[in-house]
């Protein structure tokens, strides 16, 4: 049989010392990390003039360029059939005596493995945005976007300033820092192969689950520790200050105005400073003396050198309010940070509507929002009597927007409360409150806002005198509390107002191959490369196989013994699948519950005498835990917890955390009466989970809440180790048998097929594992098969 060798599509010379030994295995063909080892043992060819031209005189010490500096390929054919083809790696050139070249032919996937070793952030994914409220909100529903900014719950300690002075929690609003970029995994996987010149064929990647997978992003960072050490500060107030809104509903934050003002927003960053009454400021520091006051009394930041800086403002104040609706209050709900930087938010109505829980003998207030003084209202309900009957009860008969009433009923069992306006059922906005809840009052607000980045120098300091509070009605009062503070952020990564590209939010210290390996560990994926069609087939192992049957019973070479062994003879007793160690909330959960979130382990039955334990740890991802949202307006919402509060340090404003893999469930409707916060203020919110029993999905390997874990992707592998047998025998294989095995065959006569072997007159089905050292000059070749337990 004539064997031909081609190097870079040109014929190469071979001789009787050129031994061809081709090994084809399922692992080397479908596991990227194994395919780099190649299909062949080293091949040796003589240094003939023709081969010297092909090899570029690589044996010459001073020849340029090096052979490995450029891509080269090799192909072995027999009788016109391609036995193997792939990238070529030169191992050595021998000089003196008989001069020869020795090389390997690598797996087909090596063609895309080279680019897959590049960083994930280097993917040329088109994405250009400015971080702002519009970008965040649009990303939730935008089709085809590779990046979504989604809400997370950062793992922070609850400090004294997070607790309120009222019986209701202080109003807190979301800001840019409550949203984090998440990267669409399917888009990244497709781009990895596209940039290598390959398409992807995958039923799995078209599934709803896979298209819903996202990976947490990672902002580009720079070291700002020296700036923090030299110029960091925290400035706050000596005491509270109160002012009343002027005719446009504003209160200013400057000593240089005749309009209503609370003076400077903050007074000092010095621990030793006191005001005229001896008051000291709350928890302040000033590393380099950069915070101070100019000759006009305005506070300022005067850096030691030119810096790019933004400022984090923590506002804690009391505002007069008027109920605008059952969901919203009118008050100081807008803060101007600079002349071109104004932030509007919503002060939610925190008071519970008592329509469904009216108790006998209690006094209540009914409020009809927006009603005119002349509007006539009748509030009625149905009372259930002890004899099983019901009767109508008039609770209030009034004109205007509100009225107090006492629920005087016999049994106290009121239901079906209805409000009439002018004789018709009123379907507008109205509510019933406890009588002590007034439509006007005072509300506590806490909000943290980060201003836009700006440049500052010693000669051009940053002043804070353009700030003001807005949105109130004339005459409403604002009291600024002393723990209000300002701190600088020396911008370790992009912030609000920054222009970003994909690379700016994908700076994980990982390669593209790390992402593929992480997904393979989760879903037991196989990557089958077709170098001719330039495509990669990606499927979980169970879906990778098909039921096309190839009968090789007549190819068995009985001149060699047939070896039968247990598939799990060298297997560990216990196999474990898990994620990397979790951060803050997950670590505390694991410690409290005595478990490892997302972990699953199984016992290999056939390895009962083994004491070893094999642990497969995901190379990239950590698990996630969902926790209730801390927002007063949407307590039913759940957010994934990120970061670790125990690792935070002063001056450390990084929002980055270890990579997480999550499911994006899209926009989820909140229960009646709840409302999402900034920037949408709608009835829906973007929902992320790691474990989603409502959808029937989980990314944990273990079963939880009736949902089967990802271990189901590996169950067949454990079953094979526990119960199957491996058969090792020799087969008479021809080039037509071997050629389809090197890459996906359109007739499926490859590693995906079922193989029938008749041994001792007993036909049975097997999966092909390996063809060992195929040499066309030998009559038969050793092959390994594993028993099929069920079809």
Three-state secondary structure readout of 49-82: HHHHHHHCCCCCCCCCCCHHHCCCEEEEEECCEE
Give the pLDDT of residue 401. 96
Sign of the alpha-carbon torsion through 248, 253, 256, 262? positive
Backbone angles phi, psi at 67, to 5 degrees: -60, -40
Of 652, 662, 650, 656, give the one whose Cα is nearest residue 494. 656
Of 791, 751, 211, 210, give the one whose Cα is nearest residue 528. 751
Could you tell me whether strands 613-617 and 574-578 are parallel, antiparallel, or unpaired per DSSP bridges? parallel
User: DSSP letter string over 200-230?
Assistant: EE-SGGGSHHHHTEEEE-B------HHHHHH
**Inter-CA distances, 735 with 272, 384, 741, Å:** 88, 88, 10
Of 176, 480, 172, 489, give the one whose Cα is nearest residue 347. 172
Of 315, 316, 288, give the one whose Cα is nearest residue 301. 288
Eight-class DSSP state of 261:
B
Give the pLDDT of residue 449. 87
Give the pLDDT of residue 35. 64
Instruction: Provide CB contacts within 8 A for 669, sequence distance 6+.
Output: 683, 684
Whether the Cβ atoms of residue 557 and residue 137 lie closer than 8 Å to each other = no
Backbone angles phi, psi at 488, to 5 degrees: -80, 150
Residue 695, CA atoms < 13 Å, CB-side half-sphere: 17
**Inter-CA distances, 269 with 232, 290, 311, 406, Å:** 10, 9, 14, 53
d(CA 12, CA 604): 49
Q: What are 190-214's pLDDT values in tens digits?
A: 999 999 999 999 999 999 999 999 9
Whether the Cβ atoms of residue 632 and residue 350 lie closer than 8 Å to each other = yes
Instruction: Provide CB contacts within 8 A for 678, sequence distance 6+.
Output: 133, 173, 174, 175, 345, 346
Instruction: Provide CB contacts within 8 A for 186, sequence distance 6+.
Output: 205, 210, 211, 213
Longest pairwise C-alpha distance within the chain: 115
Secondary structure of residue 537 in the 3-state scheme: strand
d(CA 172, CA 632): 8
d(CA 496, CA 529): 43
Give the pLDDT of residue 553. 95
Backbone angles phi, psi at 550, to 5 degrees: -115, 125
End-to-end CA distance of the chain: 38
Secondary structure of residue 479 in the 3-state scheme: strand
Give the pLDDT of residue 108. 64
Sign of the alpha-carbon torsion through 443, 362, 428, 440? negative
Here the tokens at position 575 are 């196999």
d(CA 472, CA 479): 13
Backbone angles phi, psi at 523, to 5 degrees: -115, 10
For the chain, the helix, strand and coil percentages under 3-state DSSP, each to the nearest 5: 15, 40, 45
d(CA 54, CA 60): 14
Q: Which residues in 202-351 belong to E strands, given as ranges?
A: 213-216, 233-236, 241-244, 251-252, 285-286, 291-293, 299-301, 307-323, 328-330, 334-338, 341-344, 347-348
Give the pLDDT of residue 412. 66
The 10 Å Cβ neighbour count of residue 157 is 8
Instruction: Provide CB contacts within 8 A for 613, sequence distance 6+.
Output: 572, 573, 574, 575, 576
Helix (H) or strand (E) holding 381: strand 376-384
Of 269, 284, 321, 281, give the one whose Cα is nearest residue 445. 321
d(CA 30, CA 520): 10
Instruction: Provide CB contacts within 8 A for 594, sequence distance 6+.
Output: none
* pLDDT per 10-residue tile (average), the chain, 791 residues: 85 87 82 66 87 83 77 85 83 84 78 88 96 94 96 71 52 82 98 94 96 96 88 95 97 96 96 88 92 95 91 94 95 93 88 89 94 95 81 92 88 83 94 96 91 88 96 98 94 83 96 96 93 89 91 95 92 94 86 91 80 93 89 87 68 77 96 88 94 90 95 95 94 89 76 92 92 87 93 73
Whether the Cβ atoms of residue 728 and residue 718 lie closer than 8 Å to each other = no
d(CA 48, CA 354): 95
Q: What is the pTM of this model?
A: 0.82
Whether the Cβ atoms of residue 480 and residue 240 lie closer than 8 Å to each other = yes
Give the pLDDT of residue 41. 66
Helix (H) or strand (E) holding 685: strand 684-689
């Amino acid at each position: 049989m004539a064997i031909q060798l081609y190097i870079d599509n040109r014929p190469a010379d071979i001789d009787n010392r050129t031994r061809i030994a081709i090994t084809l295995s399922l692992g080397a063909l479908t596991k990227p990390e194994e395919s780099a080892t190649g299909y062949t043992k080293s091949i040796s060819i003589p240094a003939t003039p023709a081969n010297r031209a092909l090899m570029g005189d690589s044996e010459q010490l001073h020849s340029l360029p090096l052979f490995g500096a450029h891509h080269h390929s090799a192909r072995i054919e027999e009788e016109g059939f391609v036995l193997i083809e792939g990238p070529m790696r030169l191992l050595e050139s021998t000089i003196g005596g008989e001069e020869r070249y020795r090389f390997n032919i690598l797996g087909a996937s090596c063609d895309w493995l080279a680019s897959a070793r590049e960083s994930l952030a280097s993917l040329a994914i088109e994405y250009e945005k400015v971080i702002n409220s519009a970008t965040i909100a649009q990303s939730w529903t935008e089709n085809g976007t590779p990046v979504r900014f989604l809400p997370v719950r950062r793992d922070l300690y609850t400090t004294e300033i997070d607790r309120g002075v009222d019986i209701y929690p202080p109003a807190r609003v979301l800001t840019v820092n409550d949203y984090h970029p998440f990267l669409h995994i399917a888009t990244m996987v497709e781009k990895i192969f596209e940039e290598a010149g390959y398409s992807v064929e995958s039923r799995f990647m078209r599934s709803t689950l896979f298209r819903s997978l996202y990976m947490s992003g990672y902002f580009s960072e720079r070291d700002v520790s020296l700036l923090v050490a030299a110029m960091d500060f925290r400035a706050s107030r000596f005491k509270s200050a109160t002012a009343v809104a002027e005719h446009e509903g504003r209160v200013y934050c400057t000593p240089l105005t005749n309009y209503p003002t609370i003076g400077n927003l903050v007074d000092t960053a010095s621990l030793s400073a006191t005001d005229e009454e001896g008051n000291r400021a709350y928890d302040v520091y000033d590393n380099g003396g950069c915070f101070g006051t100019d000759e006009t009394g305005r506070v300022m930041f005067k850096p030691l050198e030119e810096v790019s800086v933004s400022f984090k403002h923590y506002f804690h104040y009391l505002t007069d309010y008027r109920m605008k609706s059952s969901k919203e209050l009118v008050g100081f709900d807008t803060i101007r940070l600079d002349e071109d930087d104004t932030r509007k938010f919503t002060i939610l109505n925190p008071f519970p509507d008592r329509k469904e829980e009216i108790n006998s003998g209690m006094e209540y207030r009914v409020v009809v929002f927006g009603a005119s003084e002349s509007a006539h209202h009748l509030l009625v309900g149905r009372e259930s009597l002890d004899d099983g009957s019901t009767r109508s009860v008039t609770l209030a008969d009034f004109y205007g927007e509100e009225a107090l009433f006492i629920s005087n009923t016999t049994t106290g069992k009121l239901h079906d409360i209805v409000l009439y306006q002018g004789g018709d059922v009123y379907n507008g906005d109205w509510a019933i409150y406890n009588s002590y809840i007034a439509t006007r009052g005072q509300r506590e607000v806490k909000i943290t806002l980060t201003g836009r980045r700006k440049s500052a120098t010693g000669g051009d300091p940053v002043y804070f005198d353009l700030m003001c509070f807005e949105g109130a009605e004339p005459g409403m009062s604002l009291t600024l509390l002393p723990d209000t503070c300002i701190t600088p952020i020396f911008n370790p990564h992009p912030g609000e107002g920054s222009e970003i590209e994909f690379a700016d939010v994908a700076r994980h210290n990982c390669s593209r191959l790390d992402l593929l390996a992480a997904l393979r560990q989760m879903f037991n994926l196989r990557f089958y490369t077709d170098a001719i069609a330039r495509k990669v087939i990606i499927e979980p192992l169970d879906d990778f196989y098909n039921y096309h049957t190839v009968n090789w019973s007549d190819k068995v070479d009985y001149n060699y013994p047939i070896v039968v062994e247990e598939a799990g003879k060298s297997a560990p007793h216990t196999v474990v699948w898990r994620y990397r160690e979790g951060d803050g909330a997950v670590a505390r959960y694991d410690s409290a519950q005595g478990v490892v979130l997302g972990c699953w382990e199984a016992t290999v039955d056939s390895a009962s005498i083994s004491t070893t334990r094999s642990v497969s740890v995901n190379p990239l991802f950590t698990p996630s835990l969902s926790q209730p949202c801390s927002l007063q307006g949407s307590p039913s919402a759940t957010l994934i917890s990120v970061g670790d509060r125990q690792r935070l340090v002063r001056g450390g404003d990084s929002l980055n955390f270890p990579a997480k893999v999550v499911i994006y469930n899209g926009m989820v409707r909140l229960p009646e009466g709840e409302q999402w916060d900034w920037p949408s203020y709608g009835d829906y919110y973007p929902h992320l989970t790691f474990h989603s029993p409502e959808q029937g999905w989980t990314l944990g390997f273990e079963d939880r809440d009736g949902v089967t874990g990802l271990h189901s992707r590996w169950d067949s592998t454990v079953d094979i180790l526990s119960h199957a047998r491996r058969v090792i025998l020799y087969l008479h294989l021809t080039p037509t048998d071997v050629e389809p095995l090197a890459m996906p065959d359109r007739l499926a006569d490859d590693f995906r097929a079922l193989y029938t072997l008749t041994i001792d007159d007993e036909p049975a089905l097997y999966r092909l594992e390996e063809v060992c050292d195929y040499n066309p000059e030998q009559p038969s070749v050793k092959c390994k098969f594993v028993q099929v337990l069920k079809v």
